[in-house]
Amino acid sequence: MQGFLRLARLKRVALVLLVLVQGGFVFQGCNEASVPTNADAKGDVIVHQGDAQGTTYLIKYHGASAVPQAAVDSVLEVVDIEFNLWRPESRINMLNSFSDKDSLFKFVDEHFLWSSIWAQSMDLFEASQGAFDPTVQPLVELWGFGLSKRGEVTAEAVDSALNHIGMTFENIDLNEVERDRIYQFTTVRKRNPDTRLDFNGIAQGMTVDLLVEMLEENGVKNFMVEVGGEVRCGGVRLDGTPWRIAVDQPIVASEGEYEREMQTVMNVSDAAICTSGNYRKFYETDGIKRSHTISPFSGYPVQHGLLSATVHATNAATADALATACMVWGPEDGKKFILNYRSSNPYDRIEAYFISDDGKGNWVNWVSPGWQALTAVEIQE
């Protein structure tokens, strides 16, 4: 029953977004987007691209009429206004600021995004034994990877922040209120007023999934959707071959700069590919590298050899969150986690590709049992 309710919520998300777009309600200011363009010489490939969520997005599709740019903008804006921590008026910032543990934070979840992201996050929090944890936000701020100015971090401060970490009933809980089986409003109870949320480990993947749902509702079957490097593909390319998605080499670069070289290229068919890594977002203090992946177990930036984790799954939200969890677990525990999750959830079509540092400056690759069947081109052994 629980799984059925979550499926129903996801369908409500798609339905509401479709009505939102078809009804002509357009959000402005969410990105600087191009109008749909014909990228192929024959004029058969339609492209939408622009800036959103502090990154970029790219949508390609063919075999259907052009989807209005307003439809793309609407999806991006709906997610942005709910979950963008860098947007002062976003719902997540209002919720994070709410500190009355004796009262409920109450709102109407018009697009049912909160029920969807909450259900997915709870499932993945439990499946990863807490490695994927959206309540890690106080630690992200403490270590200077959020909005707070970077400063000296003490063991006492880490221990204090850990008291507020954990997506558990004792810290924070979401509930949908219905009357006569009709949704009325959503409440969030913060039994721990200092618990705060950060959905960055799943929100871009969810955005990709919502864009895919919007395309499919508009009759698009052959598409590639990418937001901030998180990708999901459906159908085939214009020439009838599978979509090809590259996995980057984990080239360690100086702060604020990076290079892009392909490690491997995958055939992706009706699935998503998402990567999480520690080789771009980091800083060094006193010779110690501090990565943006914070362990919700220790409270410290992870210290292990796993440089990047790429996960293949049926949807981008799952792939995004699992890749995040792998970066918390590290190379050995991450392998065990993926193999266990893969066997327990066969319909999710989970495969993984790890690139690790062997401690001697060499890269070591590990792939799950079915990954090689996806490989189109292996650039680097």
Residue 35's domain is classified under what CATH number? 3.10.520.10
Tokens 């890749």 correspond to 323
Q: How many domains does the chain have?
A: 1
**Tokens 């992706």 sit at which residue?**
268
Question: Rounded to 5 degrees, what are φ and ψ at 343?
Answer: -75, -30
Range of the domain at 290: 2-97+202-378
Can you give the pLDDT at residue 326?
A: 96
Q: What average pLDDT does the structure give for the chain?
A: 84
pLDDT band with cut points at 50, 70 and 90 for residue 15: very low
Question: Per-residue pLDDT for 105 more than 60?
Answer: yes
Rounded CA separation 253/191 (Å): 42
Backbone φ/ψ region at 83: left (φ over 0), alpha (ψ -120 to 50), beta: alpha
- Classify residue 132: in a domain, yes or no: no
Average pLDDT over residues 63-79: 95
- What are 147's two structure tokens? 């909005």
pLDDT tens profile 314-349: 999 999 999 999 999 999 999 999 999 999 999 999
DSSP H or E run through 310: strand 306-313
d(CA 190, CA 99): 7
pLDDT tens per residue, range 266-298: 999 999 999 998 766 554 555 555 557 899 999
- Closest by CA to 138, choosing from 122, 128, 153, 126, is 153
- Measure the CA–CA gap between 134 and 164, rounded to whole angstroms: 11
Q: Are 20 and 111 in contact (CB under 8 A)?
A: yes
What per-residue confidence (pLDDT) applies to 126?
A: 96
Between CA 374 and CA 378 the distance in angstroms is 11
Question: Nearest-CA neighbor of 363 among 252, 282, 231?
Answer: 252
Confidence of residue 241 (pLDDT cuts 50, 70, 90): very high
Residue 248: the pLDDT is: 83
- Strand partners of residue 189: 104, 173
- Could you give the C-alpha distances from 138 to 152, 180, 285, 371, in angstroms and in order? 15, 39, 20, 36
> How far is 59 from 274, CA to CA, in rounded Å?
16
Encoded tokens for 104: 């409920």
* DSSP-derived 3-state class of residue 202: coil
Q: Is residue 31 part of a domain?
A: yes
Cα separation, 257 vs 275, in Å, equals 18
The encoded tokens of residue 362 equal 């060499």
Predicted pLDDT of residue 167? 96
At 29 the pLDDT is: 31
Domain membership flag for residue 209: yes
Nearest to 15 by CA among 217, 223, 221, 207: 217
Q: Which residue, chain included where needed, has tokens 């954990």? A: 166
- State how far the Cα of 213 lies from the Cα of 20, in Å rounded to an integer: 13
Report the C-alpha gap between 250 and 367 in whole angstroms.
16
Of 192, 323, 172, nearest to 247 by C-alpha is 323
Residue 114 lies inside a defined structural domain of this protein: no
128 phi/psi in degrees, rounded to 5? -90, 5
Residue 109 lies in a domain: no
- The conformation of residue 133, written as its DSSP 8-state character, comes to -
C-alpha to C-alpha distance for 9 and 1, rounded to whole angstroms: 12
- Dump pLDDT digits (tens) for 135-193: 999 999 998 876 666 668 899 999 999 999 999 999 999 999 999 999 999 999 999 99
Is the pLDDT reported for residue 16 higher than 70?
Answer: no
What is the band of 375 on the pLDDT scale with cuts at 50, 70, 90?
confident
Q: How is 16-32 classified by DSSP, letter by letter?
A: HHHHHHHTT----SS--
**Domain membership flag for residue 125:** no
- Is position 108 within any domain? no
Using pLDDT thresholds of 50, 70 and 90, give the confidence band for residue 24.
Answer: very low
**Is residue 130 assigned to a domain?**
no
Question: Is it the case that residue 14 has pLDDT exceeding 70?
Answer: no
Which residue has tokens 């480990």?
201
Residue 32: band (very low, low, confident or very high) from pLDDT cuts 50, 70, 90: very low
Percent of all residues in the chain with a pLDDT value above 90, rounded to a whole number:
68
